[in-house]
Amino acid sequence: MPRSTPLWWAVQNGHVEVVRMLLERDDVDPNISNTETGRTPLSLAARRGSHEGIVRMLLARHDTDPNLGGPQSLTPLEVAVSYGHERIVRLLLKRQDTNPNILGRNNGPTALWRAAEKGNERMVKWLLERGANPNTQYYGTPLSSAADRGHEGVLRALLKRSDVNPNIADPTGATPLWWAAYNGNEGVMSILLERNDLDPNIPDTLYHSSPLMMAAKTGGVRVVSRLLKRDDIDVNRVYSSRRETALLVAAEWGKEGVVRMLLKRKEIDPNIPNREGETPLRLAIHGIRRTSRPDEGIVRLLLERNDINLNIADTRYGQTPLEYAVSKGYQEIAELLQERANSITSNRGHVPATELVLPDISGPSERPRKRARRL
């Protein structure tokens, strides 16, 4: 059976006068916790927002430990933050011996992490003023928690601290910026990108994708636009075991607006293939992530590039984009590719590529067809 002191029971039942009488006695220990919950009288009072007067009386005793939470309980500060009791948080922080950096049970979150998660900007500011460490990790830093949940006010409060590291990743390797891209949160991203020491190219370890790749995949044109304003963004960087770039991801997922935006970058290379040797053009024709049909809009965008290479064959089937389009019976796409191929050879002063004999895609046919000559 759990054991508790008379003081504990008086706090539990909100008997203010009984608490006052007991605390006047020198032989009453205010730090003895309940044997079952591990809560001290102070942590119990902090949990109940209506017990502000009792919290004041307990804190007036110099021998009351404001950091004692017990093996199975949170500290009084963590409890007050978790329940959003701002006035009690202020009372606790007035005690100079209150430590805002104590980890929760089982190395859990600090009070600052909890305040950031809940989006309580005032409590975040108070905790930072009392020396709370903004880089303590629990499934990411307070900054990461606020970024994931879209708490812009908390983000601004944290980023005012010069010692905040915006590049610390959570256990999945996701940085605060990665979460902003994943969630498509333009506001959060704009706030984070104001920090010059932020690295916009860090990939996570779960999907092995950079923030730009995640934004390209979800189709967030405005989010992609924000990222591309950074001079240090690497648009050609290859990530993941599939060897993907942002352009490859956008082409594969049919994000025409993102592809258009990426192609405006002078340094973009439209010919970087993935692990299977598939270029953005080849993926746009394949269309596996969209409707399993070619994305003509993306194909046209890519073909407008003077540096597009039509001769890169994938490693699985050994087919160029044109050969693949012909094999699938994509007549309109094949004609676009053949026209572009002829244009390239003409501009180079070569004899135009052999004209493609397109298959009859109205029904099955065993008639052999001539393939376009590679340039």
Q: Which tokens belong to 223?
A: 């989010």
CA distance 230 to 195: 11
Query: Shortest CA distance to 88 belongs to which of 101, 99, 79?
Result: 79
Show Cβ contacts of residue 61 under 8 Å, excluding neighbours closer than 6 positions.
Answer: 23, 30
CA distance 22 to 15: 11
Residue 313 has pLDDT above 70, yes or no: yes
CA distance 84 to 90: 11
Residue 186 has pLDDT above 70, yes or no: yes
What band does 33 get if pLDDT is binned at 50, 70 and 90?
confident
Q: What are phi and psi of 83, to 5 degrees?
A: -95, 0
Of all helices (H) and strands (E), which one includes residue 336? helix 331-347
Tens digits of per-residue pLDDT, 113-143?
Answer: 999 999 999 999 999 999 999 999 988 999 9
CA distance 344 to 311: 12
Q: Which tokens belong to 131?
A: 């020396």
Give me the DSSP letters along 254-289.
T-HHHHHHHHTSTT--TT---TTS--HHHHHHH-TT
Task: Among 2-16, 92-106, 267-281, name the most confident range.
Answer: 267-281
Residues 138/110, Cβ–Cβ less than 8 Å = yes
Show Cβ contacts of residue 8 under 8 Å, excluding neighbours closer than 6 positions.
Answer: 32, 33, 34, 39, 40, 41, 44
For residues 288-317, give the mean pLDDT. Answer: 87
Tens digits of per-residue pLDDT, 203-261?
Answer: 999 888 999 999 998 868 999 999 999 999 999 999 877 799 999 999 999 999 999 99
The second-level CATH assignment, the architecture, of 1-99 is Alpha Horseshoe (1.25)
